[in-house]
Chain A
Amino acid sequence: MQKGKVLYGVLFGILMVLLFVPIVQEYTGVFPVKTLAGVFVKTEKPQLTLDSYASGKFQGQTERYVSENFGLREPVIRLYNQYVWDFYRKTYVKTIIPGKGKWLYGKEFIDDLEGIRWKEYANSPSELRSKFVKEADRLRKVQEILEEYDKHLFVIMEPGKARTYPEYLPDAVGRRIAAKETDELISAADMYPAILDSVGVNYVNIDRWFQRDKEKFGFSLYPQTGTHWSNLAALHATDSIIRYMEQIGNRDIANLKISSIVYDTTMNPDADFENLLNVNRVVRDVPNQYANFELLSDTNTVKPAWIHIGDSYYWNISYHIPLDEIFSRHPYWYYNSTIYYDAKYHSTAETDIVAELVNADFVTLGYCTSQIYTMSSYFAAKALVNLCYDKKDIKKVVMDIVESMNNIPEWKAALQQKADSQGKPVEEVMMADAYYVLYLDPEKYFPELNESHPISRNGMLRMCVSDDPVGRILRNMYGNDEWLESIHQKAKQQKVELETMMLRDAEWMLNNQ
């Protein structure tokens, strides 16, 4: 009896201590914890007011806040995730689908394979097709204008893990696909290349190449627990992209040659999905393969400038390949929103698109099979408008749109709300949205763009690609980031457009130097 009392006394003591551990950890952080991977929208600390309490808002917010912030939350979640992964091969990350043999897939890639992803972007297959046709037509026009100046644009059809390796998909996916008619399996990865072909846009179809020849490669084109192509696949793809550039640009560019393959499970494991599982133990059991390679070049080899607009597949190119040794410049426009180059980044909205295009020899647009639906993230429309019109003409249209916004009370109120939520002046939000409206349907505001071969009315562009001395100076300005930045600052100080300042400086240089 006494022994039982002691036992329960001990258990009671342990229990009370354990119940208080999360509270102690929350307020002291005494145990070190590894933070969870992923992006979370955290609940704000609830404010107790009579209204928030009576309406139940405070309670709801408190429940969420406690769930997101209690002490030892991270190890508890990792432990639970480990349990569901080890026992059931399951994850609560909605965007990840576990396949066979510990392979992890992105849900959007599977949705694309099953012919349902397009429904997020269009109401019917014909609507999707006409969107793609419109996009391809704009790209073709941009491609033709750039070709006039010996600059080349092409699309890279990047692969998708689910299309390349359907054999590791869960059986349920296979059953769902088998239950569908072929014409129900609509995928942009099939539709878009056919449209690019018919419209006449240059493209490289790496997706089809990987599907066709995956057995010949002799290595895995995708890491087991990552979503992007493997280091070796990216290497092969880049070599093909370079060879295509050589072909359409008639230039000799350095090529890549693999000298040996290294097997490794730890070196830059490309396990982004695995990280998101937030488990304690490593999931992957297949080592990745990495290449030692050399660059093949000779005296005829040139270093062109390359702009790549696209998704995160680019990172596996830039991580492993010394692009500085192949290209003179290689800015990366992530989804046409942020430009990464030279260990810096800035928004495309702050960038002069014409200046960038003038400064490039090759412009590529690369999207993997699940992201083609986003098309070029308005790059085609923006490039077309800016290549064809002077800034002052574009600004005039934008100001007209701003005026419309001011004249429509509901629109203005919505923008005011948006400005308030972003903590920005409403004028700034209006301007940004007006540009967005313009690039959404540029042909509405510039009907000449509907012409099959629109003529560039951008005086600056015409001048800077001409052979006259001012044009040469302008090209040098565009090619020198520091110089361009200093002119940009000067233009700001003098409150004139960048182009005006560049012209003034170029003419001054010509007359004085």
Chain B
Amino acid sequence: MVFSSNIFLLFFLPIFFAAYFLTPQKFRNYTLLLFSLIFYAYGAPDFVFLLSGVCVVNYFLVRKMVGAKRQKLLCAVSIVLSLGLLLYFKYSNFIVENVNALLGLAHREPIPWRKVALPIGISFFTFQSITYTIDVYRGATPPSKKLSDYVLYIMMFPQLIAGPIVKYNSVAQQLISRKSTVEDCVTGFYRFVIGLSKKVLVANTLAVCADQAFGMGSDITTATAWIGILSYTFQIYFDFSGYSDMAIGLGRMMGFRFPENFNVPYISQSISEFWRRWHMTLGAFMKEYLYIPLGGNRRSVARTYFNLGLVFLCSGLWHGASWTFVAWGIFHGFFIIMDRIFLLDLLKKIGRVPSVIITFLLVNLGWVLFRADDIASACQYYKALFMFKSGGIIYQDAMFWFVFALAVLFSFLALSKKGQGIIDRVFAFQYNERQSWIMFACSIVLLVLSIGALCVSDFNPFIYFRF
């Protein structure tokens, strides 16, 4: 079940909230847990018992770890359990495919292998499990007293599927005691609908052009290639940030304060800044649980670059088991290192607007790797972008161009102070009476339009569902 589906919007959501608010405060976690399990079991019946089982094992493992003599070993076992799950489900197909390709080159028999299905949300499940283990190991937070609270932290339906990655120590207290007010519920709903509209009304519209462009192969013209990649650039932003808004909004409706995941990333003046604004919870996770443990920038310059490269390589691989994601990770890692060497200084010198344009262009080029089916297709697309091939832009209707213009506007609005002010006001969770009525009316209209759009268009899952 995805948030942008009519079954979620018209049945799951109202029934859940009715049940949730009718449940006495102290039992609400149980209601939320029950609905989270139903939510996951509905979409992934094969895996709900496996993931729940792993949750239970991990919970007791971490409890045992606290104060134990072999704390480090138990911590490692817990992490290996989580990572092992990810490795098996997400990377075994990729590894076997590549090994078989090598065996084929050596004229050897391939390894017999039956493809493993990917449980939805496994990447986020793994990372949240790891943050729990490490936070408890480091003493940043005590272990959860109740198994149900721990399972709820891992499997809470708003963020289980596609984040944001919530660190255990940031919600531990909220899991035990939180106040869910009607104000939270209403303002959370506004945020949810903003996210839904970003996904359904903006991202899905842009996806048509992006899909056409990436499906054209060698027939693509340079103009179409550029409009295709620009469409994808805005599509992935509105798709993923839309999902995060929905998750944050749903959490807010229940009284949770989930961390923000995006901060207008396309106004970044460097790739380093981009990663502080894009998928911020992943960046924070990578920094805290990988980069710093590797030594961060406290050792030699060469080691810092190595650490950065490794972090981005892992980040690329985390997004998907494919060489294109590896290349995408390396691409970003390369520019992060270049930032450290000279690029950041250069970009500072040339001024804000040119820096934003250059960074935006680089991000666009990176998305080619992210979107292409394989490296060969990506190369073909790069060729189309830069080896001028005449011909017009593939036909797009007025709706596409309007939505495209809106996407550009909202992506770069924060370049001006006034624009940033508007964004801050809309996403503030605090409104005066007039603003609240306006937000409420807009939310209802956008919700109806989104449901209408879902009815007339085909099924459009979130891009980040496969990660």
Are A66 and B10 interface neighbours, CB within 8 A? yes
Residues of A within 8 A of B183 (CB): 4-5, 8
Considering only CB atoms, which chain A residue lies closest to B397 in the complex? A90
A16 and B17: CB pair below 8 A? yes
Set B10, B402, B433, B453: member contacting A80, Cβ < 8 A: B453
Are the C-beta atoms of A88 and B42 separated by less than 8 Å?
no
The reply on A54 being an interface residue by CB < 8 A is yes
Query: Separation in Å of the A31 CB from the closest CB of chain B?
Result: 14
Most buried by A among B42, B398, B455: B455
* A63 in contact with B456 (CB, 8 Å): no
Which residue, A15, A62, A84, has most C-beta atoms of chain B within 10 A? A15
Give A21-68 interface residues, CB cut-off 8 Å to B: 22-23, 53-54, 56, 59, 62-63, 66-67
Chain B contacts of A84 at CB under 8 A? 399
Expressed in whole angstroms, the Cα–Cα distance for A54 and B189 within the complex equals 32
Question: Which one, B7, B13, B21, B397, contacts A62 given CB within 8 A?
Answer: B7
Minimum C-beta distance from B182 to chain A (A): 4
Given the known A-B contacts A5-B182, A53-B45, A88-B397, are A67 and B1 also in contact in the complex, defined by CB atoms under 8 Å? no
- Complex formed: what's the CA distance from A83 to B402 in Å? 13
A22 to B9, CA, bound (A): 10
Q: A264 to nearest B CB, angstroms?
A: 31
CB within 8 Å for A54 and B10 given contacts A8-B183, A80-B452: no
From the candidates B13, B42, B402, name the one contacting A19 in the complex (CB within 8 A). B13
Query: Once the chains bind, are A3 and B5 in contact (CB under 8 Å)?
Result: no
Nearest A residue to B5 via CB reads: A63
Establish whether residues B399 and A88, one from each chain, have CB atoms under 8 Å apart when the complex forms: yes
Q: How far is the CA of A53 from the CA of B38 in the complex (A)?
A: 13
B7 contacts A79, C-beta separation under 8 Å: no
Which of chain B's residues have a CB closer than 8 A to the CB of A88? Answer: 397-399, 402
A56 to B48, CA, bound (A): 13
Asked if B464 CB lies within 8 Å of chain A CBs, one says no
Task: Identify which of B171-179, B375-383, B443-451 touches chain A.
Answer: B443-451
B1-18 interface code vs A (CB 8 A; 1 in, 0 out) = 100011100110111011
- Report the Cα distance A8→B188, complex, angstroms: 12
Question: Assuming A88-B399, A89-B398, is B453 touching A19 (CB within 8 A)?
Answer: no
From A20, A62, A76, B451 is in contact (CB under 8 Å) with A76
Tell me, in angstroms, the Cα distance from A412 to B200 when the chains sit together: 47
* Complex contact A92–B436 (CB within 8 A): no
Q: Shortest distance in angstroms between B38's beta carbon and chain A's nearest beta carbon?
A: 12
Confirm or deny: A11 has a beta carbon within 8 angstroms of a beta carbon on chain B: yes
Closest A residue, CB atoms, query B402: A88
The reply on A262 being an interface residue by CB < 8 A is no
Residue of A nearest to B181 (CB): A8
Number of interface residues of A (CB under 8 A): 41
B43 at interface, CB cutoff 8 A: yes
Q: Within 8 Å CB of B436, what residues of A?
A: 7-8, 11
Q: For residues 400 through 457 of chain B, which have their beta carbon under 8 Å from a beta carbon of chain A?
A: 402, 433, 436, 440, 444, 448-449, 451-457
B326-372 contacts to A, CB under 8 A, are none
Bound-complex Cα distance A63 to B181 (A): 32
- The residues of B that contact A54 with a CB separation of less than 8 Å are 45-46
A70 within 8 A of B: yes
Q: Is the CB of A8 within 8 A of B14?
A: no
Q: Is B386 interfacial (CB-CB < 8 Å)?
A: no
Cα of A66 to Cα of B13 in the assembled complex, Å: 14
* Interface: B186 (CB within 8 A): yes
Is the CB of A282 closer than 8 A to any CB of chain B? no
The reply to whether A59 and B43 contact each other, CB–CB distance below 8 Å, is yes
Chain A residue contacts of B11, Cβ below 8 A: 23, 66
Q: B186 contacts which chain A residues (CB < 8 A)?
A: 8, 11-12, 15
Given contacts A7-B436, A87-B399, contact A77 B10 (CB under 8 A): no
* A92–B454 alpha-carbon span in the complex (Å): 12
CA of A66 to CA of B392 in the docked complex: distance in angstroms? Answer: 41
Question: Is A9's CB under 8 angstroms from B455's CB?
Answer: no
A49 to chain B, nearest CB (A): 12
CB within 8 Å for A63 and B459 given contacts A19-B13, A76-B448: yes
Q: Tell me if B395 is interfacial: C-beta within 8 Å of chain A.
A: yes
Taking the closest CB of chain B, its distance from the CB of A483, in whole angstroms, is 53
- Shortest distance in angstroms between A74's beta carbon and chain B's nearest beta carbon? 10
Does the CB pair A66–B433 fall under 8 Å?
no
**B14 proximity list for chain A (CB < 8 A):** 16, 19-20, 23
Separation of A22 and B15 alpha carbons in the complex (Å): 12
Contacting residues, chain A, for B284 (C-beta < 8 A)? none
Distance between Cα atoms of A15 and B459 in the complex (Å): 26
Please tell me if the beta carbons of B455 and A80 are within 8 angstroms of each other in the complex: yes
Hey, which chain A residues are within 8 Å of B10, CB to CB?
22-23, 66, 70
CA A412 – CA B189 in complex, angstroms? 58
Q: Which residues of chain B are near A187, meaning CB under 8 Å?
A: none
Would you call A15 and B189 a contact (CB within 8 A)? yes
CB-CB < 8 A to B455: which residues of A?
67, 73, 76-77, 80
B42 near A59 with CB under 8 A, answer yes
B185 within 8 A of A: yes
Least CB distance, A370 to chain B, in whole angstroms: 21
| Nearest neighbor of A93 in chain B, beta-carbon distance | B456
- A408 surroundings in chain B (CB, below 8 A): none
- Cα A12 to Cα B183 in complex, Å, equals 8
Cross-interface CB contact of A15 among B5, B15, B181, B185, cutoff 8 Å:
B185
Tell me which residues across on chain B come within 8 A of A4, comparing CB atoms: 183, 433
* Interchain CB contact (< 8 A) of B6 among A56, A59, A70, A90: A70
B254: min CB distance to chain A, Å = 13
**Chain A nearest Cβ from B452, distance in angstroms:** 3
In the docked arrangement, what's the CA distance between A176 and B18, Å? 54
Q: List 18 A-B contacts (CB under 8 A).
A: A8-B436, A11-B182, A12-B185, A16-B21, A23-B11, A23-B14, A66-B6, A67-B6, A77-B456, A80-B456, A87-B398, A87-B399, A88-B397, A88-B402, A90-B399, A92-B457, A172-B395, A175-B392
9 A-B pairs closest in CB distance: A80-B452, A88-B399, A19-B14, A12-B182, A88-B398, A92-B456, A8-B183, A66-B7, A67-B6
Other 12 A-B pairs with CB < 8 A, given A59-B1, A92-B456: A4-B433, A7-B433, A7-B436, A8-B183, A8-B436, A12-B186, A16-B18, A56-B45, A59-B42, A63-B7, A79-B452, A80-B456
